[in-house]
Amino acid sequence: MALLSACVLAMLWYFTITRIQNEKELAIASSIADSRNVAAIVSANLDGVLGKTLLYSRIGQSLLNGEQKAPYLNPLFNGDSAFLRVAVFNADGQLVYSSARQKEEPELSRLINAGYMTSLTSERDQATMIINPPNNRDGYSWRVPLLIPLQNGRGELQGFFTAILDLGYFLKTYQEVSVAGASRIEILNAAGLQLAELSGGILSGGSNYAGQDYAMFLLTGKGDGLIHALRPGDDVQHVGVQRRLAHYPLAVVVSRDPQQLLGKLWPAHRQYYLQAICISLAIMLLTGGLINLAHRRRFLYEKLLYSEREKSGLINQLEQEKSRAYQLASHDYLTGIPNRMLFYELASTELSRAKRSRNLYALFFLDLDKFKLINDTQGHAVGDALLQEVARRLRAALREYDLVARLGGDEFVVMVSEIRDEESVAEIADKLVEAVRAPYPDLLGAYVETAPSIGIALYPRDGQSVDELMTNADSAMYTAKTSGTGLYRFYDASLNAIAVRGLELLGRFRQALKENEFCLYYQPKVELHNFNITGMEALIRWQHPEHGLIFPGEFIGLAEAHDLVVPLGHWIIEAVCRQLAQWRDKGLPLLPVAINVSAKQLRDERLGDVVRDTLRRHRLTPDLLEIEVTESCFIEDVETARATLEKLRDEGLKIYLDDYGTGYSGLSHIKTLPVYALKIDRSFISDIRNDNSDGMIVASTVTLARNLGLKVVAEGVETKEQLMHLKVMGCDQVQGFYLQRPVAADQLESILQKGRFEIA
């Protein structure tokens, strides 16, 4: 406990100090950014003011040339209050014009001396503007004289333009920025002389930083940057930036006192420290209290340990009695499955989860036909044994987490969760009917037959609560009982058509096999590099005498649920081989035909013998028959499935893994199974142009197949754009409606004769 408290305190103070330090760094960075913006604005405006000086100098030169433009030389008249006055002198230094209308301008004429004139007449490449205020400026340190030599087109000195720039007036524009932001704005010339300073709304100037580290940036040639030196006279180095004008030998320095800047953060930081101190004290007090409480509890525990040992035997006995009482209260005494009370409790929990599900929840209400007659004629002991066996069969027919309960007498109730659609509900009902209707050959020496009547209510369609579903399922059960024996009915009458059609198809299935009502349609598989037909897939259809052509989605599930898929698979193998022999007899080129094989067929020990015998009987080579299996074939028994596929592979058949990407199997299964090619499911092809994730899945599948030495087939190609995308990605083969829809065998003969597709 003490170690944990120390860790918490260390973390608390670490985060507090880190937060304060981060806020200081952020404040300084923000101040630098603000100073950089102010320096950019001041330098740009100052650059503009000096640019106007050059404009006035050109007007002054025209005045020397005899043009009458004197009114335009008055900055105050033109609204340029940053200029106190201007004057024009001829080459001899005589005053030609004064904006103050004075006969003499001694302050400006001092700028023109023999040294300047000598320099100007002897050097052509000197600066255009000279900014060189006198050392003693008599308290008006921000008044800066400017001198611009005027030359004619031949390079001869024609005269001088002079002006006095009022930097004080110029800086007053930024007085609010200086006061509100606690900023100091300085203007320096190239020699390091401070021309003007605005600090806290107060103007000053005149400091000389020549040769000082503070002004060394003027000599480095850098346009702007951070201040890295202490200004003479300051106690601490200010935080700020310096920026040189783009066209004139001046620089602007904007800075702030870090103590004043960080001082504004102190109230908040003090609050952080106070909070950390208070929390630290609370943690230490709590830790001390917990340690004290732990010692007291240990003392009490040692005191009570002896008495607890004495009571443990009694508690265990009470728990056993409680468990036994709950078992008796919540479970049916005869069958051991939940009774009405427990079913209501568990079903209510299931329905609370169902509100967040998009799937169906179904409640089945079962009643045994002729149970009273069996009880009366065979005796109650046989009746009880029948109820026990029915409960066992129901439990075996359902998933482990589905609910089965006995309500009393011969009434049972089942709740099945997460069902995809109504057809699946009907399949479950068929399964329950078959499980209960199977004979009971030895119930205490008696042979018993019975069948259930089942009523079905669906959540949320037929009810939102357990009571509503029970009532409606009970009503549907009585409808089923009045319709006959061994039937089920939905509470929603519109759904009973599903059950009736399923029962009708199931009743005719075996007859359909004998009378060859099933037929095969064929869809070509095409090589992408040359568009040659490389094989076909055989697709089963049911040509029903009353309902017409029925697609496999309606009857394959019935065949799977009622163990009819194996004889159907044998029929398909025979039909494919017979068709290949007919094409051979007609002189058509023979191409491999792929058939779909289910998980139950892979568990059929006779599958390999049936394939081998059928091929031999029709005088066909094994390479003309291919097997397509889905990933679901490996869920229950991967070893048996692998062994069967290896036998088929050894016979010479190629194995395709169908609907790749939609199942569960991993890379380990693909590596160990005798697979020749992967078939990419159509769901990844339909939107391959627009969905990047589909494109990535297809590309990664092609790469995986290449690394494993497998072929890749894409099914469901419906457009030319999909075809081109797959070709670019390196897919080997394709099939789909764009090339050819599934057709009967006689409609495929012309395509087989041609042998390839022409793609425009």
Find the mean pLDDT for residues 655-681.
Answer: 77
Q: Do 462 and 497 touch, CB atoms closer than 8 A?
A: no
Distances (CA, A) of 734 to 355, 536, 740: 42, 11, 11
Query: pLDDT, tens digit, for every residue of 33-64?
Result: 888 888 888 888 888 888 888 888 888 888 88
Find the mean pLDDT for residues 637-656.
Answer: 90
Distance CA 517, CA 274 (A): 89
Query: pLDDT, tens digit, for every residue of 126-139?
Result: 446 777 666 555 55
Tokens of 564: 């009819």
pLDDT at 677 exceeding the cut of 70: yes
Q: Do 736 and 721 touch, CB atoms closer than 8 A?
A: no
Nearest to 540 by CA among 507, 504, 564: 564
Tokens of 622: 């094994």
Q: How confident is the model at residue 626 (pLDDT cuts 50, 70, 90)?
A: very high
Residue 621 has what pLDDT? 95
Residue 268 has what pLDDT? 87
Query: pLDDT, tens digit, for every residue of 310-365?
Result: 787 777 776 776 666 566 667 888 898 999 999 999 999 888 888 777 788 999 99
Contacts (Cβ under 8 Å, ≥6 apart) of 243: 36, 39, 40, 43, 223, 224, 251, 252, 253, 254
Find the mean pLDDT for residues 637-658.
Answer: 89
Residue 130 has what pLDDT? 74
Q: How confident is the model at residue 124 (pLDDT cuts 50, 70, 90)?
A: very low
Tell me the pLDDT of the chain averaged across its residues: 84
Q: Do 522 and 748 touch, CB atoms closer than 8 A?
A: yes
Query: pLDDT, tens digit, for every residue of 206-250?
Result: 888 887 878 777 766 565 788 877 888 888 888 889 888 878 888
Residue 125 has what pLDDT? 38
Tokens of 59: 């007007």
Q: What's 49's DSSP letter?
A: H
Distance CA 723, CA 685 (A): 9
Which string of DSSP letters, residue by residue, matches 176-202?
A: HHHHHTTEEEEEEETTSBEEEEEETTE
Tokens of 444: 């205490």
Distance CA 159, CA 89 (A): 6
Q: How confident is the model at residue 177 (pLDDT cuts 50, 70, 90)?
A: confident
Distance CA 476, CA 470 (A): 10
Query: pLDDT, tens digit, for every residue of 684-715?
Result: 888 777 777 778 888 888 888 888 889 999 99
Q: Which amino acid is at 286?
A: L
600 burial class (0-12, 13-18, 19+ CB within 10 angstroms)? middle
Buried b (16+ CB within 10 A) or exposed e, 84-95: bbbbbbebeeeb
Find the mean pLDDT for residues 413-429.
Answer: 88
